Structure 1
Amino acid sequence: MAEKACGLLINYEYCTGCRACEMACSVEHGIPLGRFGIKLSCTGPWKIDGKRWQNDMVPIPTDECDLCAGRLEKGQKPTCAKHCQALVIEYGAVDELAAKIASAKTKHVLFVPKAGCAD
């Protein structure tokens, strides 16, 4: 049976920009200052119209991200998802995460690493 592809679903509509994902990843993997396994990208703020603003915080996994393969082997979720204070990072099978996007009412991105999945 083929190994299923896994990834991270990130609901950036509700990301607060706290950077807990960055810090947890750096500590977990010993990533040096200036490099990242996941990096928060900020877009905005600017006014779109009379009531709406563009101000998005989007955690972006880098090529250093392996979805915390060592944690997955122990049955634990990736450290960024574990430590996300706003609970906007979810780990799972790509097909299941994609189905959630299809019915979502908020902005999401789906990250699938080059290496695939350790599940």
Structure 2
Amino acid sequence: MAAKRRAKAPENGLLIDYEYCTGCYACQVACQQEHRWPAGMGGIRVQEIVQNLPNDKSYLTYIPFPTELCVLCAARTRKGQQPACVQHCMAACMKYGRIEDLAKEMTKPRMVLWAPRG
């Protein structure tokens, strides 16, 4: 019986700081244009979250999240370029790099480290 090959763990990922996302959707548009995704599809999506607070106030948060279609712009990163979403992020709240290096930079509670499935 042949041994099952274990999927190689990804080496690179994205560090996203939700505190600074302004909801400009530049990452989402850049991904759609780079990969020619049809409307409604893409490697990264921006979700708008509205939290109702006391005294008729609300808090709006934008959450950029990579989807299962994201391959970290493999064609770009092989050439030493940043993924399209990172390059075009107006708030500079996304960073691409080695997972172990990015993990050391996770110093705030609203930061997320994302890597594609291996």
Q: TM-score with structure 2 length normalisation? A: 0.84
Alignment of 1:1-119 (within 5 A): 5-47=11-53, 54-101=59-106, 104-105=107-108, 107-115=110-118
2-side partners of 1:3 and 1:75: how far apart? 20
How far off its partner does 1:36 sit? 1.6
1-side partners of 2:114 and 2:9: how far apart? 17
SS of residue matched to 1:13 = helix
The Cα RMSD (Å) is 2.1
SS of residue matched to 2:19 = coil
Structure 2 alignment gaps of length 5 or more? 1-7
How far off its partner does 1:44 sit? 1.3
2-side partners of 1:3 and 1:59: how far apart? 23
How far off its partner does 1:4 sit? 6.4
SS of residue matched to 2:41 = coil
Identity level (%):
41
2-side partners of 1:44 and 1:63: how far apart? 24
Check the 8 A contact 2:10/2:117 in 1, yes or no.
no
1-side partners of 2:31 and 2:48: how far apart? 18
The one-letter code matched in structure 1 to 2:46 is L
Q: Where do 4+ consecutive residues of structure 1 move more than 4 Å?
A: none
Q: TM-score with structure 1 length normalisation? A: 0.83
